[in-house]
Amino acid sequence: MKQMSALKSLFALAFIAFLPLGASAQWKSEASLSTGIESNVLRSYIPSRDIVTEGTLYIAHQWNFPAVTGLLSYQVNGVSFADLADHNYSINTAVMSGEHKFGDGGWLKGGLQAIKRENQEAYNIFDYSEFEGFLDVRLPFEDNLTALAGYTLRRRLYSIVTELDNWEHLLYGGVNIPFSERTTLSMLSEVGYKNYLVPVLSPLGSGNSGGNAAKVGQWANTLRLSRALYDNLGMMVYGRGQLNFGDQELYVSGLSASYRSENDLYDDRYGYESREFGGMISCRLPHALLFRVGYDYADKRYQQMALDLDGNVITGEGARHDTISRLWGRAEKRFSFAGNKRQLNLYGEYKWLKNSSNDPSYRYSNTGTTIGFEVIF
């Protein structure tokens, strides 16, 4: 029950965070707590209904130097399941970063981050430690056009499945183009490259079971259009496509039939190509009320063959092919207090998710209703 104990400690720290922090403007803290009912919490073809409670505490301290602003932060996330307690987990994140501002809204950021995930013993296969260094830059140009670019080097080490330890390189670049005060077009291109530390054997016996360790890559491009329809009504639509390169025979998804949760260990984005699109409409009303509703769709084509529930290849189906539809809505009410130095956000969410697949193990649907709060100090 170490995750439950960690969650209780998190809530105790959140209570302490409500207390006055003194006059120093260098400190920042946030706390959130939510609880929700999900009809298929494990995203399985055999539904499991449960109540999920999530809590987060974030604490940061900022230093202002003549040319650089430094930040040291720590965040702990705890997730607790009412019935499926073996799935409880926590994630601890520590970040040290620096930012240099220049020009009209330009900046250069860099830093180091460490993450550790801990599950209950029954599912410690998901436990990992992650270390990364990152560098990001924002360049303003004339007519409010801005360019973004960045690079991240990440190393992930799993506690149990050490054969999946890897180095990952992430490089991105993009531009925001304002056509008017109401319309902005954003384009983003991302390249990811993952290098496994040891040779990996794929689930069907193919892949790099010997020789050099596998190297997989992905190129993703996103186009997003944002527009203010009226003073308090806005919309956003997007399209995204991702293509893979490298050792195409290697994939991580579906290593074990006993794990169907949405986790990157068993649904690694390098294991499929996709076409995605979606949109959102937001409406801001008087008294700090905010409503959002959105829809997302993804067409995902995997590298592995579609299998029946006994693990046999389904004749004539070919590779696994999933289509995901997601509809969601969120209502928020925001409050300010202590001279607008602190904020309270109350919210409620509803989501509907359906995954259609030619592999019956991945046919599922899920609905969820959540209420929660966020506090910024």
Separation between Cα atoms, residue 160 and residue 158, nearest integer Å: 6
**H and E: helices and strands count for the chain:** 1, 16
Q: Which residue's entry shows tokens 């009226």? A: 230
Tell me if 337 sits within 8 A of 312, measured CB to CB: no
Residue 230: per-residue pLDDT:
87
pLDDT by 10s per residue, the chain, length 377:
454 454 454 454 444 444 444 333 488 999 999 999 999 998 889 999 999 999 999 999 999 988 999 999 999 999 999 999 999 999 999 999 999 999 888 999 999 999 999 999 998 888 999 999 999 999 999 888 999 999 999 999 999 888 888 999 999 999 999 988 889 999 999 999 998 887 765 543 334 444 577 788 999 999 999 999 988 999 999 999 999 988 765 555 444 433 334 466 667 888 889 999 999 999 999 888 999 999 999 999 988 889 898 889 998 899 999 999 999 999 999 998 776 778 999 999 999 999 999 999 899 999 999 999 999 88
Residue 126: closest CA among 100, 88, 78:
88
Burial of residue 294 (CB within 10 Å: 0-12, 13-18, 19+) is middle
Tell me if 62 sits within 8 A of 54, measured CB to CB: no
Domain with residue 184: its CATH number is 2.40.160.10
- Count structural domains, the chain: 1
Separation between Cα atoms, residue 327 and residue 296, nearest integer Å: 7
Residue 252: per-residue pLDDT:
56
- Tell me which residue range forms the domain holding 68: 2-376
Q: Is the dihedral of CA 208, 209, 213, 219 positive or negative?
A: positive
Burial of residue 179 (CB within 10 Å: 0-12, 13-18, 19+) is exposed
Contact residues for 108 (Cβ-Cβ < 8 A; gap 6+): 99, 100, 102, 135, 136, 137, 138
Q: What is the DSSP letter of 2?
A: H
Residue 263: per-residue pLDDT:
61
Tell me if 213 sits within 8 A of 199, measured CB to CB: yes
